[in-house]
Amino acid sequence: MTAPVLLRLIDLGLGPLRGLNAALPPGLSAITGGEGCGKTLLLRLLAGELAPAQGRIERQQGPVWYAPTDDPADDAVVAADWLAARRPHHARWDQALADNLADALDLAQHLPKPLYMLSRGSRRKLGLLGAAASGAELVLLDQPWAALDARSCRLVDELLTEAADSPRSAWVVADYALPPALADLPLAAHIALGD
């Protein structure tokens, strides 16, 4: 049986992206490419933050998780409030999983702090916690291993291994090259944007 397509890119173009065609079924997909080739731009298009200049994106309806934690506008927001503001948009939010991940990522102690007090790695962990707990049908992650300690990197590997087997969610990871942690996982799609 063919996997359903959650997202289809048809002749998509914006900025450095030109004539991009791809289908994203459930499971784990990767976007790779060099500096400035459009990885983050493509994530923002997939999230619906931007409209393409050409072509179109066909998307099944469902919640999307794309929540970068490095926006300076969020610096004064308390980490727990940052999560709480996103929770109502995700009907399948799993609070028990969020609590477990806060402990596993050594993040619980940082939840009462404003984001400006968190390290880059802790801010990234906050976004990963939300991604995993959201229950979103489309989860978009930009360089999820960056600035993380080894223990947290292993946890990301575990989350993505689970995502690779998902029958209903598409997780999309953008990075410069295919990370070693994904090398042995079955990818639903790989969009290589070049150097």
Q: pLDDT confidence of 114, banded at 50, 70, 90?
A: very high
Residue 191 near residue 19 (C-beta atoms within 8 A): no
Helix axes 120-134, 95-104, angle to 10 degrees: 150
Domain ranges for the chain: 7-192
Residue of 114, 146, 116 whose CA lies nearest to 128? 146
Distances (CA, A) of 78 to 17, 87, 175: 36, 15, 28
Instruction: Give residue-wise pLDDT tens across range 25-79.
Output: 999 999 999 999 999 999 999 999 999 999 999 988 789 999 999 999 999 999 9
Cα angle, residue 97 at apex, residues 148 and 74 outer, rounded to 5°: 55
**Which residue's structure tokens are 């944007």?**
193
Beta-bridge partner residues of 13: 54
Token digits for 129? 């916690």
> Do 65 and 138 touch, CB atoms closer than 8 A?
yes
The yes/no answer on whether domain 7-192 falls in CATH 3.40.50.300 is yes
Model pLDDT for residues 145-177, shown as the tens digit of each residue: 999 999 999 999 999 999 999 999 999 999 999
**What integer is the mean pLDDT of 118-142?**
96
